[in-house]
Amino acid sequence: MQARNNFDVAIVGAGVFGVWTAYRMVQAGARVVLIDAYGPGNSRSSSGGESRIIRMGYGPDELYSSSAVRSLKLWQEFFGRGETTANLFVKTGVLWLARNSDPYCEAILEILPKLSVPLERLDSNELKQRYPQFEFADGTWGILEPDSGALMARRAVQAVANQITLDGVTLLTESILPPDDHGRLQYVSTTSASQIFADQFVFACGPWLPKLFPKILRDLIYVTRQEVLFFGTQPGDTAFAPTRMPIWVDFNDLVYAIPNVDNRGFKLAIDAHGPEFDPDNGERVVTQAGLDAARAYLRKRVPSLANAPLVESRVCQYENTSNGDFLIDRHPEIENVWLVGGGSGHGFKHGPAVGEYVGALISGNGVSEPRFQLSSKGTFQQREVF
C-alpha cells in the first residue's frame, strides 16, 4: 500500500460540515487533509444542490436559532473575502406562513428578538397586499425575516474548498474503506490501496456514515429520498424574482419555496421524508407522484404556476437522526474518531457554526452539547427539529 503523509486531522467528507471543519482547523494551524469520494459539492452529496435556505427561525428551539445567527455572520464574512464569492448569498428574506393558532411561529416571535434578529409580523391583509402572486387562506398571517435568504450551496461549498486548499489543506478525491472499530485509529485505507495517517479523524460524510460505521449507526441514521422541483415562470414575469418574492416556508403543509434565483425557476419542495435511499446507487429521477403532489400544492397556493412547465428537477437525500438533531460526538470505541452528521434537511446553513464546534471539541476547548451526543439518538423516527 502507498502511505500518505501524516496529518494532524483527516476529514472524510467535503460537504458543508467537512469543508467548514477543515477551514477552522487549518486556521488553527493544523495540518489537514480533506477526503471525498466524489469531490466537493458533487451531485450525490447533500450539499450539492443549487440553493439552500438560511433562516433564523426554529420555533422554540433557541439552540438552532443561535447557531443560524452565528453561521450567517460567518458565511457573510467568508463571502466578503473576494469577488468570486460575493454573490453566493442572496438576501431574499424568509417568510413564515402561519395559521390562526400556530405555536411554532408564535415561538419565533419570542425567540428571534432575544437574538437581535429583525423580523416583521404581517397580518392576512398585509400578506395579500404585499404578495399578490400567492393565495392565502383566511386567518393566515406571516413573519418576515428580512435579512435571511438563500445560500448558493454547491458553489459555496466549492468556494470554501478552494480557499482551504490555498490555506494549505490537502484535498483528495478518494473512496474510504470502513475503518477498524476499536482502539485508536492510525490511518484510513482507500479503495485505491492508499493509507492516510492522521492523529485525529473526522467523519463528516452525511449519508455515507451508516455505510462506514454500520455497527453503531445503521439503526440511528435515516437516509431518505427527497425530490426538488423547479417550475418555469411566464416570459417577462418578474413576480417570482428574488426582488419581489421572498423564500417562504409553510411547515403546516411541509412545503418550502425559493424564488427564481439564478434564473433557474421557482423552486418547490415537500419537506416530508421520503423512502430509504442509497446515495451511491440510487436513481435520481423524480416520480410522477412527486410532481403531482407539487402541482396540487401550487393549485392551492400559487395558482398561476399550477400548469407551469417543469424546467429542472433534482433528487437528493436527507440524512437525519431520529428526531433531527445533529450527531456530533466522539466514536464510542475509537478514541480519536469524531462522527459529524445528521444535518440533511436543515443543516446546510449551520456549516460555519458546526466547523467551530467540532474544532473546539478536537482541541479540547469545547463543551459537548447533550443533544448532539450519540447516546441521545433513538432507533425510531419522530422528527422534532424543523
pLDDT tens figures, 204-220: 999 999 999 999 999 99
From the centroid of its chain, how far is CA 157? Answer: 11
Cell numbers that stand for 90 in this block: 442572496
> How confident is residue 82, by pLDDT bands cut at 50, 70 and 90?
confident
pLDDT in tens, 253-275: 999 999 999 999 999 999 999 99
pLDDT at 6: 92
pLDDT exceeds cutoff 80 at 350:
yes
- Whole-number pLDDT of residue 239: 97
Counting Cα atoms < 13 Å in the Cβ hemisphere of 362 gives 30
- Check pLDDT > 90 for residue 249: yes
CA-to-CA distance for 189 and 180, rounded, in angstroms?
10
Tell me whether residue 254 is exposed, middle or buried, using C-beta atoms within 10 angstroms of its C-beta: 0 to 12, 13 to 18, 19 or more: middle
Report the candidate in 75, 71, 69 with the shortest Cα–Cα distance to residue 88: 75
Gyration radius of the chain over CA positions: 21
Q: Which of 367, 378, 372 is nearest to 329 (CA)?
A: 372
What is the mean pLDDT of the segment spanning 277-296?
A: 97
Residue 2 burial (10 A CB sphere; 0-12, 13-18, 19+): exposed
Find the range with the poorest average confidence among 15-19, 92-96, 176-180. 176-180
Where residue 1 falls among pLDDT bands split at 50, 70, 90? low
For 149, phi then psi, to 5°, come to 175, -145
All residues at 6 or more sequence positions from 345 whose CB lies less than 8 Å from its CB, including other chains: 226, 271, 273, 318, 320, 324
- Residue 203: phi, psi to the nearest 5? -105, 100
pLDDT at 4 over 80: no
Amino acid at 205: C
pLDDT grade for 374, boundaries at 50, 70 and 90 = very high
CA quadruple 74, 279, 213, 371: dihedral positive or negative? Answer: positive
* Of 168, 279, 264, 169, residue with least CA distance to 222: 279
Residue 331 has pLDDT above 90, yes or no: yes
Query: What integer best gives the mean pLDDT of the chain?
Result: 96
Residue 344's contacts (CB-CB under 8 Å, 6 or more residues apart) are 46, 206, 207, 316, 317, 318, 319, 320
Instruction: Find out whether 59 and 386 touch, Cβ atoms under 8 Å.
Output: yes
| Alpha carbon distance 135, 29 (integer Å) | 53
pTM higher than 0.95 for the full model? Answer: yes
DSSP letter at 182? S
Domains delineated in the chain: 2-47+154-220+322-376 (3.50.50.60), 91-148+222-319 (3.30.9.10)
User: Does residue 81 register a pLDDT over 90?
Assistant: no
* Structure confidence at residue 50 as a pLDDT band (50, 70, 90): very high
Q: How many CA atoms lie within 13 A of 124 on its CB side?
A: 8
User: pLDDT class for 84, splitting at 50, 70, 90?
Assistant: confident
- CB 31 within 8 Å of CB 83: no
C-beta atoms surrounding 54 within 10 Å: 25
Nearest-angstrom CA–CA distance, 121 and 138: 16
Give the pLDDT confidence score for residue 181 in this predicted structure.
Answer: 72
Nearest to 74 by CA among 302, 290, 313, 356: 356
